[in-house]
Chains A and B, each alone.
Chain A
């Protein structure tokens, strides 16, 4: 007889960091862009715009955004906008919704949304909506609920949400809801916490969270927490710091953040810091990167760490930045 599948998890090493090394993280991010000829840096050009958003938001959450050269950043961002209105990940690459949302978020961080011709962005985003309400990521036709979130978040940040068919967009997202109350990439796709974040965020931005069965989804999300305290993205998977964001933010949006053990999760996130270089990795002992650094910091912020600025659970940006915009968000 089968002896049962062992639970996939990690053990936190005894010597793992136990306090937040905030300044080290700020230093790590601030100097990340100095190594522009670095192999790693060059090879990740396809997500440069996202990477900048992760880094800049991390710095903003530590209250040190002014360490970055604002003019240089904005110059780069604006050079990535294409005639069609969309932004690419880097200069010369193709426009995509993923990089467009990051670009708009960066502009918002620097209070510089006015720089962009919002009509062209809105027009492009609109052109990507399909008759079933879904959004293409770019003109090549890949459909994903991530893009539904990107489209709606972009428009909300530009205060132009009413320019797409919101009802249809919502219906498409709802068609991706599964037997467990969670969401997948497309109708028929398996539930995934990253997708849950995109879909609950999208429903919050459009004021339609009543479609979510919060108790059912909240239970599925709370079961993402493993004995180590870390969260995984799907059943039977390893824990990972980025899920401290996707899962936690979703729980916050549906008003069920208290359904996990916060202290154990804090312990896990702190253990993923690199004491030498600063930054967070996916799991203790792995290589750090800006992506996990942002989601580590943002997770700690949602968990109530007062040394990190309060983060908005839907847009993953500092609350004080968003206070200036007129975005309406719904929480259960």
Chain B
């Protein structure tokens, strides 16, 4: 029941309505039993069409009856002449039109119409397109009708240029028409293909879209359709080619830990059709199994080798390691590295960023000019509409795309402004801010990923891109606002982790960190021994600062925690 207002009626009115409904119900039930009986008896005839039509006219969602009609039509197809069939199907189309006028959102009616069009001897597709125009005139957002339109376009090979024009006419009529913008996003790559361009769309065509949508947001700056479309256009830059296809992002080898850790650009699931081959000094190490950071074989970008006793890495001598990823038996990427006689561990990025930001897109000259032009346009709009959140956010994204370092301060200020302008989505803006801070930090590392990172006191609400940091050895995230450490187990090389003064209520996510020695979680919201459960799986943990957490106030918990973490030096109370 959607949009049915509850109205108070008098007793008299209620009684009259009850009687009327009772009568309707009798007719309805009578017709229904007769139809079911006919179906059971295999009487798929014109009488069944008549009876089921009566019921469907009142209740078009009674899908079983549409099915009966379909079955009947298929029967009639065997015995009726072409002319007769054409008439029968025409009358079904007519009937459907009536049903759709009463209920334009009935899945059953629209699907029945597709069935009829696919089965009638001479379907009149142009008439159907006209019908869509009518229905979209009445409700320009009816997605059933839009879908039916796409069905006709496909079946009747309607020119996509004409459809592109149609979406244009809808937008000129009303910029606030999400359905039409959506349609354009689908048509553009087909109509204006250019494989050399981002996402395969011709740049000139895209520039026209920018112009169009700019018109839209100047006309109606509060309408979200324009802004969503605009954000899509902005995002059409190309990621560096290396980051689009599967590749080894970095890997590390350790003689002492007897394992190899791989970090990939894209997720894989080892097993079934994907496999990782490990070669040591030019011979394949058999009997190696692979698990992700959760010790499972679910999709991940991080994979760790486990060696049965007789296939360990040689403890001395030069080591040449090669790793291949196979998909369906075919090699999709590989990487290699060598360890000298005296080297125990080796870790390195295998995919260089070449000093360019990992997170920004490669911008062509034209694209840069366009974005610069956009930046000016949006700034201009903001002079008139100072508090328009869409414009502020767009400004932020444009600056981020053009030069995240140069505009850093402005980006941060504008995100703070957004958190005030649009309080409902305050946490979105805060997370976005955190993301940008982390991205700038990672870019500043260039390719030296085996390092220490200081991100303390940055007001972070969420930590991003842990998947890029499997080689980081020390991370300071103290004095932020993190409320979880989910996925921190990507940090496979981490030795020291400082999470003092955050809002953590649980340490779920720190499981299986093989090298973690020092964990600082002072002044968080950890309130029970269970919230520390994950630490039992960190084999090298030696020191844990737990002071200032609610769990420390209870002496009984101390015991239970000491039992959980037997070889760990635990601080429960701050020593002054």
Contact = CB atoms under 8 A, between A and B. Distances in A.
Are these two chains actual partners, yes or no?
yes
Interface stretch (A102-110, A282-290, A300-308, A312-320): A282-290
A34 B221 CA distance: 52
Nearest to A2: B219
A5 B223 contact: yes
A119 interface: no
Contacts of B423: 261
Given A190-B179, A264-B424, A7 B228 contact: no
Interface stretch (A21-29, A56-64, A67-75, A179-187): A179-187
Tell me which of A210, A234, A283, A292 has the highest count of chain B C-beta atoms within 10 A of its own C-beta: A210
Interface in A159-217: 178-180, 184-186, 188-192, 207-208, 210, 215
Contacts of A235: 178, 224-225, 228
Contacts of A138: 67
A190 B28 contact: no
B176 interface: yes
A310 B21 CA distance: 40
Contacts of B229: 179
A-B complex: 5 closest residue pairs judged by Cβ atoms = A179-B185, A261-B424, A39-B21, A5-B176, A179-B232
Contacts of B176: 5, 236
Nearest to B17: A39
Given A94-B63, A180-B228, A192 B143 contact: yes
B111 A140 contact: yes
23 contacts: A2-B175, A42-B25, A45-B62, A93-B63, A96-B63, A138-B67, A179-B185, A184-B143, A190-B182, A207-B298, A210-B267, A215-B431, A215-B432, A234-B141, A234-B143, A236-B176, A259-B427, A260-B424, A286-B5, A287-B4, A287-B6, A289-B1, A330-B298
Given A259-B431, A285-B6, A220 B143 contact: no
Interface of B: 1-6, 21-22, 24-25, 28-29, 36, 58-59, 61-64, 67, 70, 107, 111, 115, 141, 143, 146-147, 150, 174-176, 178-179, 182-183, 185-186, 219-225, 228-229, 232, 267, 269, 298-299, 423-428, 431-432, 435, 486
Interface SS of B by simple majority: helix
B28 A236 contact: no
A142 interface: yes
Contacts of B64: 46, 88-89, 93-94
B303 to A, nearest CB: 14
A45 B55 CA distance: 13
Nearest to A259: B428
Contacts of B220: 2, 4-5
A58 to B, nearest CB: 15
B24 A39 contact: yes
A11 interface: no
A132 interface: no
A217 to B, nearest CB: 12
Interface string A239-276: 01000000000000001101111001000000000100
Nearest to B424: A261
A207 B299 contact: yes
Contacts of A240: 2
Given A1-B219, A236-B224, A261-B424, A46 B59 contact: yes
Given A180-B228, A189-B143, A286-B3, A236 B178 contact: yes
A261 to B, nearest CB: 4
Contacts of A222: 424-425, 428
B298 A180 contact: no
Nearest to A283: B3
A140 B269 CA distance: 35
A113 interface: no
Given A46-B62, A259-B425, A286-B1, A92 B147 contact: no
Contacts of B431: 215, 259
A286 to B, nearest CB: 6
Contacts of A85: none
Given A141-B115, A234-B178, 18 more contacts: A7-B222, A39-B22, A45-B62, A47-B61, A88-B64, A93-B64, A179-B228, A189-B147, A191-B182, A208-B299, A210-B267, A236-B224, A238-B3, A255-B486, A259-B431, A260-B425, A261-B424, A286-B4
Given A258-B427, A282-B3, A223 B224 contact: yes
Contact of A4 (B62, B185, B221, B225): B221
A157 to B, nearest CB: 20
A237 interface: yes
A87 to B, nearest CB: 13
B59 to A, nearest CB: 6
A100 interface: no
Contact of B6 (A191, A225, A237, A274): A274
Nearest to B467: A210
Q: Which of B25, B107, B143, B175 has the most CB of A within 10 A?
A: B143
B383 to A, nearest CB: 17
A218 B428 contact: yes
A282 B232 contact: no
Contacts of A210: 267, 299
Contacts of A291: 1
B391 to A, nearest CB: 14
